[in-house]
A and B are shown apart, each in its own frame.
Chain A
Amino acid sequence: MAKTLAQEFSKGLWEELPPFRLVLGLCPTLAVTKSVENGLGMGIATTFVLVCSNLLVSLLRNVIPAKIRIACYIIIIATFVTVVELLMQAYAYPLYLELGIFIPLIVVNCIVLGRAEAFASKNTPVYSVADGLGIGVGFTLSLGALGAVREVLGEGTFYGMQVFGSSFEPFTFMVEAPGAFVCLGLMLCLINLAGNR
């Protein structure tokens, strides 16, 4: 039972790697990974919400009545999402415009609510923060990786820098919606292949 803090943190990086192992939070995964920058930005915003909401849910876990707990969690999460939204408007406005509607939609990201319900409501604050941080970092890295594949193939760039020579003809397919689905499907296949050894 007694897991160390490091184990709680590292399980989010492989065993429970969010969009691949737990198939949750697919909408932002598909929508914002047109480029590495967007993917990482979205991941960091989600991590912030995840850590803060896990902490608060865990602190309040003995106060919140069981019957209305989901409603309470949603209000806590929505509060932190509003905080992120306002922070991004102030300090990262271009990224805020780029991510658009998907910032307020962190509220309905099943990963955040899932961790609050499955982990933070039963564990102490320190462990909940470690769990939130682990899952958040895993999510950020996954989005970054997916963004990298799509940006390199679809635009021929990596983080805005040219990768191939000027003769490279980008596969525009990869940055459009169909490419997002196919790319995520194939990456999931690779992860399954590596994990089932």
Chain B
Amino acid sequence: MGDIFVLIISCIFINNIVLAQYLGNCPFLGTSKKMETAVGMSMAVIFVLTMAGVITWIVDTYFLVGLGIEFLRTIAFILVIASLVQFVEMFLKKSIPALYAGLGIFLPLITTNCAVMGVCLINVQEEYTFVEALISSIAYAVGFGLALVLFAGLRERINIGRVPKPLQDTSIGLVTAGIISLAFFAFKGMV
């Protein structure tokens, strides 16, 4: 039980997917201008990443390693993720329209979100067991959501302030992200 707890803390805070592992930066900067879009994106990522992490783990363990074709991992994973996103989109549209309307345009964007692909690869490279892969996928996704929502809050505030012209928008966003990342850096001492 203790190991699982350490894994959760380390995935959310210490190895935060955006701020320490440099993954998923495009949606991090792209969808953080408004709080609503940030929350929508976070939800979509948590939903898809959990499923993708589990399914790619199963595909890798029983199919790729079983047949000795690990070199096809990149192609196999991106196909799994792309079709999963498509499938989730169709399923939600049909059966849970309210949730579909909420996640809306963020779902297709997730295919090229490198956080999803990255976590799937990390799960396999670290040789996690099934339960660990499940937990780490959820925890990384929560970490992504946490960073995105924090960042969106700061960005909404910054947009009101007076920022020098060349620094506006993405530039000041990156500097802000650097400072949040510095705050998360302090967690490194915890484990």
Which A residues lie at the B interface, using CB under 8 A? 23-27, 30-31, 70-71, 74-75, 78-79, 81-82, 85-86, 101, 104-105, 107-110, 113, 176-186, 188-190, 192-193, 196
User: Contact check: which of A26, A78, A181, A193 meets B26 at CB < 8 Å?
Assistant: A26
Which of A82, A101, A176, A190 has the most chain B CB within a 10 Å cutoff?
A101
- Give the residues in chain B near A182, CB-CB below 8 Å: 174-175, 178-179
Establish whether residues A107 and B121, one from each chain, have CB atoms under 8 Å apart when the complex forms: no
Interface residues on B, range: 35 or more
A178 CA to B181 CA, complexed, in Å: 5
Q: Taking A101-B118, A185-B174 as contacts, is the C-beta distance between A27 and B24 under 8 angstroms?
A: yes
Which of B78, B111, B179 has the most chain A CB within a 10 Å cutoff?
B78
Which of A23, A27, A105, A110 has the most chain B CB within a 10 Å cutoff?
A27
Interface CB pairs A-B, < 8 A, 20: A23-B29, A24-B26, A26-B29, A27-B114, A70-B111, A74-B111, A78-B78, A82-B72, A82-B75, A104-B77, A104-B121, A105-B121, A108-B113, A109-B114, A113-B112, A180-B22, A180-B178, A181-B175, A185-B173, A185-B174
Establish whether residues B82 and A181, one from each chain, have CB atoms under 8 Å apart when the complex forms: no
- Give the residues in chain B near A105, CB-CB below 8 Å: 23, 114, 117-118, 121
Q: Which residue of B lies closest to A109 (CB)?
A: B114
- Give the residues in chain A near B174, CB-CB below 8 Å: 181-182, 184-185, 188
A1 CA to B4 CA, complexed, in Å: 59
Interface digits, B150-191 against A, CB 8 Å rule (1 contact, 0 not)?
000000000000000111001111110111011001000000
